Chain A
C-alpha cells in the first residue's frame, strides 16, 4: 500500500489525524476543519470531471445538496442508522446523476456545463418551494444518527467524532480516485480530455466512459453531502444554489486542476480564507470607523479578487507552485498545452 500511494500521502493523513490532539483545536476549529475537508472531497470529485475528463460541471451543488436532503429527510422521519441514511442517499443521487449524465453527456463543453447547471436548478427550485421539506428554511434541528444500530453510546455528534468521520471519508475517496485515475479507465478519461474524437476512433465508447465518470463523481460529491447534516443538524436549499457549484470549481482552480491533492488543498484554503476574512473584515471596518455589520459579505469580494488573480497569473493553482519542475509530466500541464478550442 505504501509504495502504491506514496509515503507523502500517508504522512499527510497522519498529520491530519493527529491534528485534533493539538491544544488550539477547539470544537469550533474542529468544525471548521470538518467543513474544509468536506469541501475538499467535493472538489476532488469535481476534478475527476474537470481536470481528468475535461468536462465542467456547474451542477455539483445538486449532488451535494440532494444527498444532504435525503439524509436529513430520513433523520427527520426517525430513521437513525447512519448506514441506512448513506444507502438511501446513494440510490437518490445515483438515479439523479444517471438522468443528468444521460442528457448532459450528449453535449460537449459549455453545453454540458449549462445542462448540469439547469438540472441542478430544477432540484434547487423543488426544495426551495416545497413546504413539506421546509421551503427556504430547509430541514432544521436534526438529531445525530447512530453509527452502530441500537447502540446509543456510539452516536455521532461531537466535533471530534465528526472530524474523524470526514477524514476517513477523505482518505477513502482519495484512495479510490487515485486507483481510478491510474487504471486503464483513468487513462481513457485523459484520452477523452485530450481529444474526444480520437478516443472514439480508437474504439472507445466515449459516452459510456463519460457517463460512468459523471456517476462516480456525483456519488463521491454525495458522500460529502450525506455527512453534512450530521454536523450542521440541518439541510437548507442554500446548499443547492448554483453559486456553491461555482465555489467548488473555484476550489479546484485554486488548488490545481488535473490533480487529486490540489482540489483538497483548494477546498481547505477556500474555507479557511472565507472564515478568516469574515472574522477580520468586521474588525477592520470597526478600525476604519464603519459599522461592523457591513463587512459581512466582504469575504466574497476578496475571494472573487483572488480567483481573478489566480486565473490570470497562476493557472496551475497552488499545486503548480510546488510542481513547477515536474510540470511537464503532471496532468495539469496538459490542460495548458491543449490548443484553444480543442477541449470544447
Chain B
C-alpha cells in the first residue's frame, strides 16, 4: 500500500500529464497530416519555439500567464506565415516535397534559436509553487495544474471539432478537401488557419511543459519522435486515436521508468509501436486507405 501511494500513484499521474501534453502536440501533427498529407517535421521546432517565446515574454512582463497567451499567438502567426510562403506552393505536388521542406525548416529554425539564445539549457520557473496532499500523497501543484489544464484543452478541442462549424469544416477538409472546395469553402484559408492553430497548439504544449523539463534548441528533435510514434500508433489522421495513443505512451514511459533504465524504456516504447503495427497495421483507429 505504501508502494502504491508513494511510488505508483505519483508516477501514474506523472504519466497522465505527460500523455496529455503529448496529445496536444500530436493532435496538431495528425490534423496537419490529415489535411495537407504532410508529415510536419518542423512541428517539434514549433514546440521548442513556444518555450523560447515564453522565455521572451516572461522576460518582458514577468508573468507566465501573459506568456501562456502571447507565445502561442506569436508562434501561430509564424505558422500561418510559413504555410503561406512555403507549403502553399507545394499542395499540388506529392507529399514527399512537403516532408523534405519541413525537414529543411526544422534545421533552420533550430539554428536560428541557437544563434539568438545560445545552446545552453534554460529553465522556466514554475508559476505555481508548492505541493498539495492528494489521495494520501504529496503532489506538486504545478503538475496538477498542468494535468487539469491539458485535459481541459483536450475537452475544448473535442467540443471545437464536434460542435462548431469551423471545427466541422476542418474535419470535412481532412476527409475530402476537393468536395469542400466544390461546396464553396475557401480551402486555402482553412489550410492556413489550421496550420496556424496547430502551430499555436504545439507552442502551448512547449510552454506548458517548459517548467517541468529543460529548454534547449534541440528539444524538439526528441519530442517529435514521440509525437510521430503517437500519430502512427493512434492511426494516421485519427484525432481520437492520437489522444488515446498519447495517454498510452505517456503512461508506458512513466511506469516503465520505475523498473528500467532510460535506454530500456525507449526501446520498450519502440517495441510497443512495432507490436501494434504488426497486430493492427493501421494503429488504434486508422481509417482504411489513408496514405497506404
Contacts and interface: CB of A to CB of B under 8 A. Distances in A.
Interface in B54-108: 86, 89-97, 99-101, 103-108
B101 A312 contact: yes
Contacts of B105: 304, 308
A14 B94 CA distance: 38
B34 to A, nearest CB: 12
B96 A56 contact: yes
Interface string A106-137: 11111101110111011001101110000000
A311 B100 contact: yes
Given A110-B236, A305-B104, A340 B270 contact: no
B95 A344 contact: yes
Q: Is the interface of B mostly helix, strand, loop or mixed?
A: helix
Interface string B154-193: 0000000000000000000000000000000000000000
B95 A301 contact: no
A335 interface: yes
A249 interface: yes
A341 B107 CA distance: 26
A243 interface: yes
A198 B274 CA distance: 29
Contacts of B90: 311-312
A315 B93 contact: yes
A307 B94 contact: no
B280 interface: no
Interface stretch (B111-119, B203-211, B241-249): B111-119
A339 to B, nearest CB: 8
A246 interface: yes
A111 B270 contact: no
Contact of A130 (B94, B103, B263): B263
Contacts of A340: 37, 91-95
A294 interface: yes
A98 interface: no
Contacts of A111: 232, 236, 291-292
Interface residues on chain B, size class? 35 or more
A249 B267 contact: no
A147 interface: no
B136 interface: no
B108 A118 contact: no
Interface string A279-319: 00000000000000011011011011111100110010000
Nearest to A257: B96
B110 interface: yes
Contact of B263 (A109, A119, A126): A126
A294 B217 CA distance: 14
Interface residues of A, number: 51
Nearest to B82: A308
B6 interface: no
Nearest to A56: B96
A319 B228 CA distance: 33
A343 B96 contact: yes
B51 to A, nearest CB: 18
Contact of B89 (A107, A129, A312, A341): A312
Contact of A301 (B41, B101, B108, B270): B108
Nearest to A308: B104
Contacts of B273: 118
B195 to A, nearest CB: 16
B148 interface: no
A344 B38 CA distance: 11
B89 A338 contact: no
B263 A294 contact: no
- Which of B39, B221, B281 has the most A CB atoms < 10 Å from its CB? B39
A300 B281 contact: no
A12 to B, nearest CB: 27
Interface of A: 50, 56, 103, 106-111, 113-115, 117-119, 121-122, 125-126, 128-130, 242-243, 246, 249-250, 253, 294-295, 297-298, 300-301, 303-308, 311-312, 315, 335-336, 338, 340-344
List the 4 closest A-B pairs by CB distance, nearest first. A304-B108, A307-B104, A129-B263, A304-B107
7 contacts: A103-B277, A109-B292, A121-B266, A246-B107, A249-B100, A300-B110, A311-B101
Interface of B: 33, 37, 39, 41, 86, 89-97, 99-101, 103-112, 114-115, 118-119, 221, 225, 228-229, 232, 236, 261-263, 266-267, 270, 273-274, 277-278, 281, 291-292
Given A307-B100, A307-B107, 7 more contacts: A110-B99, A298-B111, A308-B86, A312-B89, A336-B93, A340-B93, A344-B292
